[in-house]
Amino acid sequence: MERRARIYEGKAKILYETDDPDLLVQYFKDDATAFNAQKRGTIVGKGVMNNRISAALLTHLAEHGVPTHFVKLLSDREMLVKRLQIIKIEVVVRNIVAGSLSKRLGLPEGQALVEPVLEFFYKDDALGDPMINDYHIRMLRLASGTEMEAIVDGAFRVNELLTEYFDRRGIMLVDFKLEFGRYRGQILLGDEITPDGCRLWEKETRERLDKDRFRRDLGGVEEAYAEVLRRVCG
């Protein structure tokens, strides 16, 4: 598939058009940002690792009935994806207290939640991705009621499937962020599922195998991503 015009460059990825109007090339960079891009850096080899991790996880989800934008891997850093009209909502699913939930509600990091918690954030960098609820989503016309049903059901299903998938590989799925989009009247899971947007803790040691190593200057960032890749792709 020929890569054509660059249509979008984000913090960690670039999207290119192809000669098929329904398909895009998603290119994974090594750039890393945190705290609404106030902290910037490079995680060497991240793009290559995230491309493979996301491909494996999205394939697993598709095989279990979750429709996604993933089509196929093209190269080390590139995958072919369906061109979605992205819904401007970041959907966060949480199983264990961490990050902003811990700060917002004053709960200790690591406390297990009795049931998964779903949160929505308005995908708007200038506003710093504020938290929103169903009423804001309706007011801003970000998604219809039917679309939200598909998104909520999809997010919980992804959580069930990935919690089990990671558990079998000795990893706790603490929380993660998903993005969905519209494609020919259907809601598909888009974006990526990687240690950039998931909290993944080693089951025995509770060692962090995700972007918190970068956010919190814990060291061993590349090694953590490589460990996730090893456990996911064997």
Nearer to ligand UDP, 99 or 170 (CB): 99
Beta pairing class for 85-86 and 78-82: unpaired
Distance of CA 27 to the CA centre of its chain: 15
Nearer to ligand UDP, 37 or 140 (CB): 37
What's 68's DSSP letter?
B
Nearer to ligand UDP, 78 or 212 (CB): 212
Task: Report the C-alpha gap between 190 and 221 in whole angstroms.
Answer: 25
Q: What's the Cα-to-Cα distance from 121 to each of 50, 137, 231, rounded to whole Å? A: 23, 10, 30
- Structure tokens of 20? 């098929």
Instruction: Please check whether residue 228 is in contact with residue 195, taking contact to mean a CB–CB distance below 8 angstroms.
Output: yes
Q: Tell me how far, at minimum, the Cβ of 200 lies from ligand UDP, in Å.
A: 9
Q: Tell me how far, at minimum, the Cβ of 155 lies from ligand UDP, in Å.
A: 12
Q: Tell me how far, at minimum, the Cβ of 103 lies from ligand UDP, in Å.
A: 7
Q: Tell me how far, at minimum, the Cβ of 207 lies from ligand UDP, in Å.
A: 16
The tally of CA atoms less than 13 A away on the side-chain side of residue 111 is 13
Nearer to ligand UDP, 13 or 18 (CB): 13
Nearer to ligand UDP, 90 or 227 (CB): 90
Q: Tell me how far, at minimum, the Cβ of 173 lies from ligand UDP, in Å.
A: 9
Which residues are at the interface with ligand UDP (CB under 6 A)? Answer: 90, 92, 98-101, 129, 175-177, 197-199, 211
* Cβ neighbours of 166 (radius 10 Å): 23
Which residue number places its CB atom closest to ligand UDP? 99
